[in-house]
Amino acid sequence: MNTLRLLPLTLAITAAMTLPAQAQSLVDLYQSAKVYDASYQSAKSQYDATLARGEQAKAGLLPTVGLGLGANRTDVSSNTAQFDRGGFGNQSATLSASQPLYRPANVATAEQGKKQAALAQAQLLAADQDLIVRVSQAYFDVLAAQDSLDFVKAQKSAVSEQLASAKRNFEVGTSTITDTREAQARFDLVLAQEIAAENDLRVKKLALDQVSGRMGAAPNPLLAPVALPAVVPEDVTPWVTQSEEIHPVVQQARLALEVAQLETQKAQAGHKPTLDLTGSYNITQNNGSTNTSADYRTNAATVGLNFNLPLFAGFAIQNRIKETVALEEKSRADLDAATRNVAQGTRAAFFGVQSGLGQVKALEAAEASSQSALDATKLGYQVGVRINIDVLNAQTTLFDTKARLAKARYDVLLGNLKLRQANGSLKENDLNAVNALLVK
């Protein structure tokens, strides 16, 4: 049976792993990761198990019914004829039932089951948000690594042209050997950077394949020109306020406190009486006995109330109450800590995105300035007022700025998702806004 249940999942994973390499959107890879990622599947299984455990807690409020069957055979032999009874026996069937009428501890246990179901939902939500961020992180890491490699290749092409120009100028005597050697050294350095960038891209792609379950996953690049979304609302206070209500970690801590309070109620119920309604119906078919050889049947129906009042249990109940009250205070402190930590994380994520947007604007201005500086330096080199190393330095500055700008843009997009994760509002629909910024 387990094999049959796992078959659809196995087929889905196999199909995902065998898809040909092609560009995929962030949502596509996230959907694939939900089927493939082991951490998320583990959280999903834990969610199902916790729901089932919560349902078990209701059993203490529901009736219990049992059916018992029995049969026996007795053979009596004697050397005295009047005592030689031979064989006889009986068959019996008993149907019994019990319904709790007053069991406060069972009521608290059932309420704990409901809290456990809500706790499982919060845990699954946290796992889903973590998966969204992990897939997005791997997605943008690949894009950033690809951009870095492209910029290194473009820089290599530019340095190669500068090296060729330096060699020509040296051959005609308009420059020194120093220019050629500087250009050669810069070209060799760029070659090393290209090898490192290629390896970094390879590693980042493997990480994306691992989290998404797609072999050769190829993320869609950003649309040009890039228009990064602003943070809405632009004040940190609403984000923090929302986090205190909906964040899965805060919800889990709050539910843990409620479970602890119910545990105290269960402990206090140890002093209280219990009352159960019981009933049974027995049918016995006798095939003779030691006194008679006649067959006869007996039917017996019983209805009753079972009352139990604890009087003294060696101070176990009193000490149990002290224990649960202390654990309740611990849960309350844990809730305070969780709320504060989530608020702090939300503030840090919010200001991180704000800072990232500012960096993007500054780097965009720096890119334009670096391009103008490079153009001016090239012109100065052609007329003889600048030397070769100036051009090489200007090229390095430009391509380094381009790489930092591309990375900053990805960090802002990822930071928006992490901000929503930090305050607990991250959902799958938030990926659609990111998809809108990607090439279709």
pLDDT digits (tens, 9 = 90+) for 348-363: 999 999 999 999 999 9
Which tokens sit at 17? Answer: 């792993």
Q: What is the pLDDT of residues 320-351, one digit of tens each?
A: 999 999 999 999 999 999 999 999 999 999 99
**Which amino acid, 258?**
E
Beta-sheet pairing, 23-24 with 218-219: parallel
Cα–Cα distance measured from residue 44 to residue 158, given in angstroms and rounded to the nearest whole number: 52
* Helices 104-172 + 388-423 axis angle, to 10: 170
For the cut 80, the answer to whether the pLDDT of residue 212 exceeds it is yes
Phi/psi of residue 217, each to 5°?
A: -60, 135
Q: Which of 13-22, 50-59, 64-73, 92-101 has the lowest mean pLDDT?
A: 13-22
Contact 235, 270 (CB under 8 A): no
| pLDDT value of residue 295 | 77
CB half-sphere exposure, 380, CA atoms < 13 A: 15
> Could you tell me the pLDDT band of residue 5, with boundaries at 50, 70 and 90?
very low
Contact (Cβ atoms closer than 8 angstroms) between residue 152 and residue 194: yes
The pLDDT tens digits for 180-189 are 888 899 899 9
What the block records as the tokens of 272 is 């209280």
pLDDT (0 to 100) of residue 82? 59
The pLDDT of residue 19 is: 43
Domains and CATH numbers, the chain: 20-62+104-272+315-435 (1.20.1600.10), 64-102+273-309 (2.20.200)
Measured on CA atoms in the order 57, 59, 60, 62, is the torsion positive or negative?
positive
* Whether the predicted model's global pTM rises above the 0.95 cut: no
